[in-house]
Chains A and B, each alone.
Chain A
Amino acid sequence: MNRGFSISLDRVSRVFGDATSRTIAVNDVSLDFKAGSFNSFVGPSGCGKSTLLRIIAGLDVPTSGRCELRSESQNDRPRLAYVFQDAHLLPWRSVMGNVELPLQLQGMSRGRRQARAADAIARVGLTDAAKRYPAQLSGGMRMRVSLARALVSQPDILLLDEPFAALDEITRQELDDELLTIWRAGSGDAAMTVVFVTHSIAEAAYLSERVVVFSARPARITLDRVLDLPEVRSAELRTDAAFARESRLLFDALRASTKSLDKAELK
């Protein structure tokens, strides 16, 4: 039996502001993500995809509609983890201190949480830097710490909001591969459901089983596609014909949605 959590959005809308100035950020979005699946949101910037992610995390509530996180086998609330666009580390804590923070906030004893944190740090390849402080790390290393901090609580649902957008291409691809490895290591029994928000079509196509393309604000779904690509991804895939075909499909959908933005601005 699958221990993971599925995500179910039912006609979710989110409106900001009051009667005089209303901004519709998300408009009537319905989606179902299977437990243990890897999904991406792609869309023009400011389209409301981050708002949707925050709603899934429970950091924001929909104006109408429902968001449910369900499991076939567990009645507990799911453990959630959120990775932000920048690393957002606590500068006064070492790498170890940052990674053990989620466990500390949940009240785990010192010995247990340090062992778990050391394990998470090892998974992102930073064991040698565990005692260093964020100010002494490169941007890529900081993002790795951020990833380790998200993984340390062994989340059922991992939400990432343009996590590697500020990094150079090589570092970003490295981190993409690490994320995939970590996700796959947890497949089967301890499957982690992932929602990944990105600007980059190549990144979405490379990582995901399923990609949802959003229109300009208010966010509506313009394409919802399960990618026709091999299950195990590797660097060669990036130059594969199938990969180019899928990217093309996503790109056309994204361009169509961006065009509607231009028209809306002209009005």
Chain B
Amino acid sequence: MIRKLLANILPPVLTLLLVAGVAEAVVSLGYVREFLLPKPSSIVKALLEKETDLWPALWVTARSAIEGFAISIVLGIVIAIILSSSKWLRAALMPYTIFFQTVPIIAIAPMLVIWLGFGPPTVRTAACIASIFPVIANTYAGLSSVDPALRDMFKLYGAGRISTLLRLSLPFALPQTLTGIKIAAGLAVIGAMVGELVGSFGGLGSVIEVSRTQLRNDKIFAAVLLSSLFGLAMFLSVTLVARLTLRHWHASESGR
């Protein structure tokens, strides 16, 4: 058990130490100047500074990202249900849902600021727009691939539309929905950061913006590091939830 853990964790940690060590040496020995590449030790120092605004900023970003993510899960599933419920609605709405994927979030963020003002609402909305498409697309694919024999069976026993949706279609689509949510988790953090860079007085995005004007490269790197780690944590939590939910029944999670 411990040996297996070591085999999994040791190699990436060694890679990290090696890269950090080389960067540290290259900058310390004067080959690259410090304002181009901050020393890894300065980044760590920036993170550990007393009364740094990095950690409160992480909290602000995390809240907006999680809220936007939650909205995109609920809204994404509802939109997928609407799309799969009638041919006519699908034809009418499908092109506009693809808009969510193709729109460059950085380009519409200024518009969001105009509509919603500076602050969390804009950030939340940016996180939602950036992350909703995989939830819609995957849930829709799951809902449209329900086993026709099972649909027949539900019909035979007189199940209504709502009952069929709750007891058959949604559970059937769940593995695919969860895959979409996994992808959305990382995208929500990216969306939140972009929202903050453009339209917020708070959060890691703002820290990056302010540090840039102060030439505090170590802090920029520290903020980027924190946001990536947070995105990773989101992804891993969703993966864990997916594993626990599907452990009984789905081949991708039960290890069979």
Interface residues of A (CB under 8 A from B): 54, 57-59, 80-82, 84, 86, 88, 90-92, 101-102, 104-106, 133-135, 153
Interface residues of B (CB under 8 A from A): 147, 149-150, 152-159, 163, 167-168, 171-172, 174, 248-251, 254, 256
Quick check: B171 and A92 within 8 Å, CB to CB?
yes
Instruction: How many A-B residue pairs have C-beta atoms within 8 angstroms? Tell me.
Output: 52
A106-B157 in contact given A92-B171, A134-B249, A135-B256 (Cβ < 8 Å): yes
Quick check: A88 and B249 within 8 Å, CB to CB?
no
Partner of B167, one of A59, A84, A105: A105
Quick check: B156 and A59 within 8 Å, CB to CB?
yes
Chain B contact residues: over half helix, strand or loop, or mixed?
helix
A92-B156 in contact given A105-B167, A135-B254 (Cβ < 8 Å): no
Quick check: A88 and B248 within 8 Å, CB to CB?
no
Quick check: A92 and B168 within 8 Å, CB to CB?
no
Residues in B neighbouring A59, C-beta threshold 8 A: 152, 155-156
The smallest beta-carbon distance between B2 and chain A, in angstroms, is 30
Partner of B153, one of A82, A86, A133, A134: A82
Quick check: A91 and B156 within 8 Å, CB to CB?
no
A92-B153 in contact given A133-B248, A135-B254 (Cβ < 8 Å): no
Residues in B neighbouring A57, C-beta threshold 8 A: 152, 156
Q: How far is the CA of A86 from the CA of B163 in the complex (A)?
A: 23
Residues in A neighbouring B150, C-beta threshold 8 A: 88, 90
Quick check: B163 and A105 within 8 Å, CB to CB?
yes
Top 9 A-B pairs, shortest CB-CB distance: A91-B249, A105-B157, A133-B248, A105-B159, A88-B149, A84-B149, A102-B157, A92-B249, A92-B171
Partner of A153, one of B147, B149, B157, B254: B157
The smallest beta-carbon distance between B110 and chain A, in angstroms, is 44
Nearest residue in A to B151 (C-beta to C-beta)? A59
Q: How far is the CA of A133 from the CA of B245 in the complex (A)?
A: 13
- For the complex with contacts A88-B149, A134-B249, 11 further pairs of A-B residues with Cβ separation under 8 Å are A59-B156, A82-B152, A82-B153, A84-B149, A84-B153, A86-B149, A90-B150, A105-B157, A105-B158, A105-B163, A135-B248
Q: How far is the CA of A92 from the CA of B254 in the complex (A)?
A: 12
Nearest residue in B to A149 (C-beta to C-beta)? B153
Residues in A neighbouring B168, C-beta threshold 8 A: 90
Q: How far is the CA of A58 from the CA of B152 in the complex (A)?
A: 10
26 A-B pairs within 8 Å (CB atoms) are namely A57-B152, A58-B156, A59-B152, A59-B155, A80-B156, A82-B152, A82-B153, A84-B149, A86-B149, A88-B150, A91-B250, A92-B171, A92-B174, A92-B248, A101-B157, A101-B167, A102-B157, A105-B159, A105-B163, A106-B157, A133-B248, A134-B249, A135-B249, A135-B250, A135-B254, A135-B256
Nearest residue in B to A79 (C-beta to C-beta)? B157
